Every structure is written in C-alpha cells, then in structure tokens.
Amino acid sequence: MKVLSVASEFYPLVKTGGLADVVGALPGALKGQDIEMRPFLPGYRAVMAAAEGGPALLKLADLFGGPAWIRSGKSGEISLLILDAPHLYDRPGNPYLGPDGLDWPDNAQRFAALAAAAAMVARGAVAGLRPDIIHAHDWQAGLVAAYLHYQDGARPGVVMTVHNIAYQGQFSAELLAMLGLPPESLSIDGIAHHGQIGYLKAGLQLADRVTTVSPGYAAELLSAEFGMGFEGLFRARAGIMSGILNGIDEEIWNPATDPQLAASFDAKHLRGRARNKAAVQERMGLKQDQSALLFGIVSRLVWQKGIDLMLASVPSLLACGAQLAVLGTGEPAIEAALRDAAARHSGRIGCVIGFDEGLSHLMQAGVDALLVPSRFEPCGLTQLYALRYGAIPVVARVGGLADTVIDANPMALAAGVATGVQFSNPDEAMLQAAIRRTAGLWQHKPAWRQMQRNAMASDVSWHEPARQYAALYRSLQLARALI
C-alpha cells in the first residue's frame, strides 16, 4: 500500500517541533507494516540544499504566481517528494516566519500550493506514484482534502492528523478565488470558519478520517476547554476520529549509541549519566554538583508550554536545593524572562536560547528530571525522550503527557511501576507541589533508580502506533472500495 504524507516539516531536513520528528519517523516505522510512505514537503532553501535532489517528475507552469516542479529526493533511506517552487519557498530560516519574526505574508499561498500539488499527485499526476491514501498533517496540509473534494476525478482516501489545534491556518475569505476552489466551498460544511477560510477546518471537515496524536487529546478535543472552537465539529465527527499515540525513533534516540552525549549508558549501566550531567551543568553555567537535583526543560517557548508557571515557581525550586537548565526558543518575552532568571540566580539556573538539536540530546541524558508543565499537550515527545534516557518526566496531567507517564503515587511506587510525576490543573501551586514531591523522591535513591529503570523500560517505540496507522489506512481503503 502506498501512502503520501503531506506536511510542512520533516526531520532531519526542517524542524521547529515534534511534527518534524513524527513525519520523519513514520515512513521507517510503517515499513514493517508493508506500507510505503512517501513524505511530500515544501522545497524550502534548507531542504533543497540538504535533500539529495532528484529529477523533476512534473513541471507546473504556474503554481500561485510562479513555475514549480515536483521533484523526487532522498533523506537517508527515505524517498521524498519535494515541491520546488522558488517564489514560495526559496527563503532562509524558519519555515513559517520571515526575518522580522512575523508570519510570511503569503503563507496562505505557500501552503495552498503544497495542498494543491499534493492533490495532483493524489490523482495520479506523477506516473507510478498514485497513492492509495493521503495522510495530511496539520493546517499546512489541510486544503488537500478540499482540493480532492471539490475537484472532479477519482481520489484516494484522506486521513487528517491534527498535531495541535491551536494552529488553525485562518485566512481572509477574499482569497477564495486565488485558491481556485468553487464559491460553494465557502460554506459551513466546507472550508468556511467564522467568516474566514480555515485550512485546518477544511481538513477536519472534509477528510475521511481524523486522528490526533494521543487518545487523551482526542477526548479533550471534544470539550470547549481544549477544542478551541472546534469541539462542535469534533463531536459531530467523533465516529471517524481516533487518537494514536506518537512513538519515537529509537535509533536516533538511543543513549547507548547517541553521538551527542558526553558518555553513553543504558538501563543497566546508568553511571554514564553523571558525566552527561556534568556536561549539561558546564554548558549551562551551573555549579558542578552531582548531588543537586537538576531539572531540565527542552521546549518551544510559547504559552502552551507553561514556561511562565515555571518562572513563577523558581523560588520553590531553589528552596529544594535544585538546579534548572532550559533549552528553548520562541516568544521574546519568555526568552527575556529566562535570561533574567539565569542572571539573577547564576550557578543555579541556566539557559541556552536557541534551537540546538545536539544539546537537546545531551539534556535528556544529563538532567535528573525533565519538566513539561504544558497547559495542553497533544502528545509531547520530550517526555518520551526523557523516559528513554532515564530523565524522570515531571508533567502536567494533560493530553499525551497523561497517557505516557505513570505517576509516582503511593500505589504505583508500591507496585514498582512509577515512571514519573504528574500534576493536575497546570498552575503555579500544583507545579510547585510537584517540584517538592520530585525533590522528596530524589532523596530516596533506590526508589529513584527504580523509577529510572521503569522509565527506560517503557515502550515508547513506533511499533504499536505504526500498527494502528496501518490498520486505519487499510480499513479506510476497504471502506472506499465499497462506495
């Protein structure tokens, strides 16, 4: 079975968050299920430079204002399709933002182009590459479902995955003519969303199946608190919706072989962690102290991630004798507040503002506990990397965080199954209580070691998620064959 995966990020070529990791790992994970997944992504400058470019398979004379080519490409073992459209993508840096830190003004065109070109491939425009299923990720790929719905011709089934409902891709209704979609598409049953064009809305409304990245988030999306205006749509479509947990790439994230670490280790030989802890302390300007409980954060610095709650909890953390190391990039105000906290508590709090893949690995290997105080979290990958690296995850009890961490409550400790610490209602008081509880656990080294061993034995692989995606694709293909 052939699946075309359409997304705006792909690890290792272009990454701002977990979407890239998931899109990058799925093709390898699905091979074992006899599924040939081909990612289709925009030819940003970095992608054109890094992907082993292949020949043009199709030329489009005019795709939203300029010529474009669909090219084959390769990243490691994975065969790609790349939309080479220099007028839309030949730009430096972040895939969504210009040098001023604002969205590119033509993002509506940039991602409509991705969807329109994907729809052509879906209908067999590239010889030999007609997919059985289209798997669209997030708002950037949402219009694929619309192009397939409103234009004539046989089409494959469409699966739409929402990785984060906060990013909806809303644009002015005046752009409808530019999109090349018919006037009737701008309706409540189509792409209209609160008087605008909604790219994610289009995908959620018109796809054959909707998934999100954890069962917990799938349930939360039905509520006004988490649905962010889409709860009604999700309730209406609950019958075709499911949550499939993300996995992690266990080759890239393997503490026994990871080249980014100061020392390798595994569940039986945890001693190497001490050298990684020392390396993190050095890199973050923290006092060299193996006995201090070292908390870490690796995160986009946005409201979702609750970093402000962490900043408000600094006094409690310091009162426990702990240290804090933060790696992140995002909103300037949060970046400034972190720098300020590091300056005021030099040696106890350290931060690196920026995106640093190598350091993110070292952090997982060196911190004692990884904090994820998110207000909402569709799945979350950093707590999965933490589990694998024996960093105890301390997480808000939301979405995928709730689904993946077993809280060290008295029963779980007695049963010897705890893998981390959870706290409810992400707010300052709850986070502070969780920090104190973690510090208490840190005092009992045998119990801590047991938690580390449990964490490292957690199944965070793609094995079961890949099986579930494969089953979903197959059942959709069967359902469409019966139409």
Q: Which of 355, 427, 428, 458 binds ligand ADP (CB under 6 A)?
A: 355
Under rule CB under 6 A, residue 380 binds ligand GLC: yes
Under rule CB under 6 A, residue 17 binds ligand ADP: yes
Under rule CB under 6 A, residue 167 binds ligand ADP: no
Q: Which is nearer to ligand ADP, 208 or 377 (CB)?
A: 377
Distance CA 464, CA 472 (A): 12
Distance CA 237, CA 1 (A): 26
Q: Which is nearer to ligand ADP, 87 or 300 (CB)?
A: 300
User: Which residues make Cβ contacts (< 8 Å) with residue 218, sequence separation at least 6?
Assistant: 211, 212, 241, 242, 243
Taking the complex as a whole, the smallest distance from the CB of residue 460 to ligand ADP amounts, in Å, to 12
Under rule CB under 6 A, residue 328 binds ligand ADP: yes
Interacting residues with ligand GLC between 222 and 281 (CB under 6 A) = 246
Closest to 171 (Cα-Cα) out of 138, 202, 199: 199
- Give the pair of three-digit tokens for residue 387: 């589990």
Under rule CB under 6 A, residue 212 binds ligand ADP: no
- Helix ranges (H only) for 345-427 are 357-366, 382-389, 399-404, 410-415
Report helix, strand or coil for 320: coil
Under rule CB under 6 A, residue 297 binds ligand GLC: no
Given the structure tokens 């990020």, which residue do they identify?
Answer: 9
The residue type of 164 is N
Taking the complex as a whole, the smallest distance from the CB of residue 344 to ligand ADP amounts, in Å, to 22
Give the interface segment with ligand ADP, choosing from 131-139, 324-332, 408-416, 475-483 (CB under 6 A).
Answer: 324-332
Under rule CB under 6 A, residue 380 binds ligand ADP: yes
User: Which residues make Cβ contacts (< 8 Å) with residue 158, sequence separation at least 6?
Assistant: 133, 134, 136, 144, 145, 148, 203, 206, 207, 208, 209
Number of residues that bind ligand ADP (CB under 6 A): 18
Q: Which of 329, 404, 422, 438 binds ligand ADP (CB under 6 A)?
A: 329
Q: Which of 27, 198, 255, 378 binds ligand GLC (CB under 6 A)?
A: 378
Under rule CB under 6 A, residue 95 binds ligand GLC: no
Cross-sheet strand order for the sheet of 421-423: 349-353, 323-330, 294-301, 369-372, 392-396, 421-423
Number of residues that bind ligand GLC (CB under 6 A): 14
Residues forming the site for ligand ADP (CB under 6 A): 17-19, 21, 298-300, 327-329, 355-357, 360, 379-382
